[in-house]
């Protein structure tokens, strides 16, 4: 085996397995399939449990609302760009550094919208936002009630344990718990930055982006074979799809009159993109159409 292939097997394949495990879990639990998806079937799997919990709403001033909705708009933009690159027929594995960059930036912006709901005064750096998200999922059930598994999962460095317990978080079909070890292993392997005490999947996505885009770029040339490339692409697309629906639902549920404001934000993004670049965000509009039919 060549040096490149051995490095690929040692460094990249565990991430392929972890991402595929996450994707399989999400598809099974929430039907989050981007290919031939039916949003009217998918979204209720995510949002219906929210309706069975003690709901609360928050009111924000105009500047705070704008910051939350701008983050959503940024997430939608990068999500659209990722889907365009993933569906480009000739790029294959060569686009992986770009794929992970677009994926991470979209995840970060959707998370930012959620974080600015939690704390409108959160710092401007990505590290400050991730720490705020991690603090919320580790210590504030009020918010974790509206974050779906496994995005609410975290690794507590002080206690060296992963919470919430996988086995108790959802109803597991036979064999699905086998998807947990590859994901757990990546959480445990993250190197903390600064004064991090909690590691979440957002930390993992950031570290993966840094690995593929900055540290191990030559390894993308070993992303050969349709199964490896397809697994990576499908995993990124479906994980992001599920997280974006969770972020939209989080904002729409907690922000006062939230879903109508999310609709307005989409319109202000879609109109110039359509008129100037002939870009359609119909996939997001389809989701919002489903939200409009949900009775609170």
45 found inside a domain: yes
Whether 235 and 35 have beta carbons less than 8 Å apart is answered as no
Q: Measure the CA–CA gap between 164 and 137, rounded to whole angstroms.
A: 10
| 161's tokens | 């344990």
User: In which residue are the tokens 């879609």 written?
Assistant: 270
165 found inside a domain: yes
H-type alpha helices, the chain? 3-7, 13-30, 39-51, 62-86, 96-118, 126-139, 141-144, 166-169, 180-189, 201-210, 226-254, 258-277, 282-291
Per-residue pLDDT, 151: 93
53 found inside a domain: yes
What is the span of the domain harbouring residue 281? 3-291
Say whether pLDDT at 226 is over 80: no
Whether 242 and 26 have beta carbons less than 8 Å apart is answered as yes
Band the pLDDT of 3: cuts 50, 70, 90.
very low
Cα–Cα separations (whole angstroms), residue 43 to 36, 73, 180: 14, 19, 23
296 found inside a domain: no
Share the mean pLDDT of the chain. Answer: 83
Whether 202 and 133 have beta carbons less than 8 Å apart is answered as yes
pTM for the predicted model, two decimal places: 0.91
Say whether pLDDT at 19 is over 80: yes
Reported as type and span, the H/E element at residue 150 is: none
Per-residue pLDDT, 59: 93
| 25's tokens | 């879990």
36 found inside a domain: yes
Q: Measure the CA–CA gap between 220 and 175, rounded to whole angstroms.
A: 31
67 found inside a domain: yes
Q: Return left, alpha or beta for 16; rule: phi > 0 is left, psi -120 to 50 is alpha, else beta.
A: alpha
Say whether pLDDT at 120 is over 90: yes
Per-residue pLDDT, 225: 58
194 found inside a domain: yes
| 131's tokens | 């720490």
Percent over 90 (pLDDT), the chain: 33
Q: Measure the CA–CA gap between 79 and 199, rounded to whole angstroms.
A: 24
Instruction: Report the number of distinct structural domains present in the chain.
Output: 1
Say whether pLDDT at 46 is over 90: no
CA 99 to chain centre: 14
Report, as an integer, the average pLDDT of 66-80. 95
Per-residue pLDDT, 83: 87
Residues 6+ apart with CB under 8 A from 226: none
């Amino acid at each position: 085996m060549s040096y490149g292939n051995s490095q690929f097997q040692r460094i990249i394949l565990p991430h392929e397995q972890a991402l595929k495990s996450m994707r399989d879990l999400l598809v099974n639990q929430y039907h989050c399939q981007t290919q031939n998806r039916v949003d009217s079937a998918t979204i209720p799997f995510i949002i219906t449990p929210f309706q069975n919990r003690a709901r609360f709403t928050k009111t924000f001033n105009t500047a705070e609302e704008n910051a939350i909705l701008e983050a959503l708009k940024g997430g939608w933009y990068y999500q659209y760009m990722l889907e365009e690159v993933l569906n480009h027929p000739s790029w294959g594995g060569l686009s992986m550094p770009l794929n992970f960059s677009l994926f991470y930036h979209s995840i970060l912006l959707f998370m930012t919208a959620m974080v600015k709901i939690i704390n409108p005064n959160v710092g401007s750096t990505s590290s400050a936002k991730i720490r705020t998200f991690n603090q919320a999922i580790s210590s504030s059930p009020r918010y974790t009630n509206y974050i779906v598994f496994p995005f609410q999962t975290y690794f507590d460095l002080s206690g060296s344990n992963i919470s919430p317990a996988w086995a108790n978080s959802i109803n597991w079909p036979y064999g699905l718990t086998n998807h947990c070890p590859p994901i757990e292993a990546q959480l445990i392997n993250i190197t903390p930055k600064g004064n991090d005490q909690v590691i979440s999947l957002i930390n993992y996505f950031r570290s993966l982006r840094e690995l593929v885009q900055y540290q191990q770029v030559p390894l993308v040339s070993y992303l050969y074979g349709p199964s490896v490339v397809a697994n990576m692409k499908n995993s990124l697309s479906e994980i992001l799809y599920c997280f974006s629906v969770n972020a939209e639902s989080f904002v729409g549920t907690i922000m006062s009159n939230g879903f109508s404001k999310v609709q307005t934000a989409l319109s202000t993004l879609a109109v110039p993109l359509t008129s100037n670049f002939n870009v359609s965000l119909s996939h997001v509009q389809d989701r919002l159409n489903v939200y409009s039919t949900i009775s609170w």
